[in-house]
Amino acid sequence: MKKIIIELFLDALRTAGELFKIIIPISIITRFLQQWGLVDKFGQLLEPVMGLVGLPGELGLVWATAMVTNIYGGMVVFASVAPGLDLSVAQVTVLGTMILVAHGLPVELLIAQKAGTRFRAMALIRIGGALLLGWLLHLSYLFSGTLQQPNQALWNPTVVEPTWGGWVIAEVRTMVIIFLIILGLMTFLRVLEKLGINDLMTRLLEPVLALLGMSREAAPITIIGMTLGLSYGGGLIIREAQSGRLSKQDVFASVALMGLCHSIFEDTLLLMVLGAHVSGIFWGRILFSLVAVFLLARLVKALPPAIFERYLVRKMKKDNSAAEVRCC
């Protein structure tokens, strides 16, 4: 038992280390961007875009903050700009769904890149997907006349401007939490594997993945990404992709699906606190993601291999250690 615990701890440490190599420098860069006011300028650039999805231009800052930082950052900015805008439930649902599809992009896109996909391709899928889904939801709520009542947020956090010391402490705390989650996840996966639950979940997901053009081997990392998210499951996703067990088509489709629809329980609950409706932030996002990846998988099959290799995926160096230790 002691040997198993040590192996799990070291494995989690290596996996978290791969993730921290991405998160730490990006977090520092993002902090400077916030200090220099560049995130605010990004929000101003988005004002005309917000009109396309039926939202006030001021909410461009909310989405910009969420895209550059994370959902929590977007929520705090929302609490500061939403009062006085007289937002409807439909508008908050549209904004919330767009945030869920495209947030934390500096970190999550680099994780997707490390897994073997192209940065620009995934950025286009995430941001373009968010805008398209937001537009579709806006039209559906507008023409059906649903969710037009005034929005009532359940959470109004105090806007805090942390010092550098406070920011460092918060970041260290986040890293510790991520490591503990990865350790717990890997332990949980080891138990599931021993009980045969992994095989059961894979069989249940296999028909859906097959419809989307993915193989059976893509099931474990897809489950991790959709339930836990790219930040927490990122280290495991990278290792599985580097192991060489998945084809590039599987990796692309799986990462695209996880990018559009991840953390389906935790993140959904967060946006419900702001007043967003489950019809958009949960059901709408899931349905849209499945249809989008279905179409993307068909597109990938129709593309010449040279185009697929050049614009959608990267050449991966096979990680022999990842191949030897099956973490998923």
- In total, how many domains does the chain have? 1
pLDDT confidence of residue 325: 35
Q: What pLDDT band is residue 2 in, cutting at 50, 70 and 90?
A: confident
pLDDT confidence of residue 95: 97
Q: Is the pLDDT of residue 193 over 90?
A: no
pLDDT confidence of residue 321: 43
pLDDT confidence of residue 54: 95
Please list the helix, strand and coil fractions of the chain in percent, rounded to the nearest 5, in that order: 75, 0, 20
In degrees, to the nearest 5, what angle opens at C-alpha 188 toward C-alphas 185 and 193? 125
pLDDT tens track for 293-326: 999 989 998 999 999 999 999 876 655 444 333 3
pLDDT confidence of residue 324: 38
Highest mean predicted confidence (pLDDT) among 37-41, 122-126, 197-201, 266-270: 122-126
pLDDT tens track for 138-163: 999 999 999 999 998 876 655 445 67
pLDDT confidence of residue 234: 65
The amino acid that residue 118 corresponds to is R
Q: Is 271 a domain residue?
A: yes
Average pLDDT over residues 270-282: 93
d(CA 137, CA 265): 20
d(CA 327, CA 12): 10
pLDDT confidence of residue 239: 76
pLDDT confidence of residue 323: 38
Q: What pLDDT band is residue 202 in, cutting at 50, 70 and 90?
A: low
Q: Is 15 a domain residue?
A: yes
C-alpha distance from residue 2 to each of 5, 6, 7, 247 (Å): 5, 6, 9, 36
pLDDT confidence of residue 156: 61
Q: Is 157 a domain residue?
A: no
pLDDT confidence of residue 318: 57
Reading the block at residue 236, the tokens are: 């495991």
Q: Is 231 a domain residue?
A: yes
Q: What does pLDDT average to over the chain? A: 82
pLDDT tens track for 218-256: 777 787 778 777 766 666 777 777 777 778 888 898 899
Q: What are phi and psi of 88, to 5 degrees?
A: -95, 165
Query: Cβ contacts of residue 109 below 8 Å, gap of 6+?
Result: 119, 122, 123, 126
Highest mean predicted confidence (pLDDT) among 124-128, 189-193, 232-236, 304-308: 124-128
Q: Is the pLDDT of residue 53 over 70?
A: yes
Q: Is 261 a domain residue?
A: yes
Average pLDDT over residues 248-275: 88
Expressed as residue numbers, the domain containing 295 is 2-152+162-324
Backbone dihedral region of 8: left (phi > 0), alpha (psi from -120 to 50 degrees) or beta? alpha
Average pLDDT over residues 72-81: 79
Q: Which residues of 249-279 are buried (b: 16+ CB within 10 A; e: fewer)?
A: bbbbbbbbbbbbbbbbeebbebbbebbbbeb
Say which residue, 288 or 199, is predicted with more confidence. 288
Q: What pLDDT band is residue 3 in, cutting at 50, 70 and 90?
A: confident
Average pLDDT over residues 32-53: 81
Q: Percent of the chain, pLDDT > 70? A: 88
Q: Is 93 a domain residue?
A: yes
Say which residue, 264 or 281, is predicted with more confidence. 281
Reading the block at residue 164, the tokens are: 């550098």
pLDDT confidence of residue 29: 77
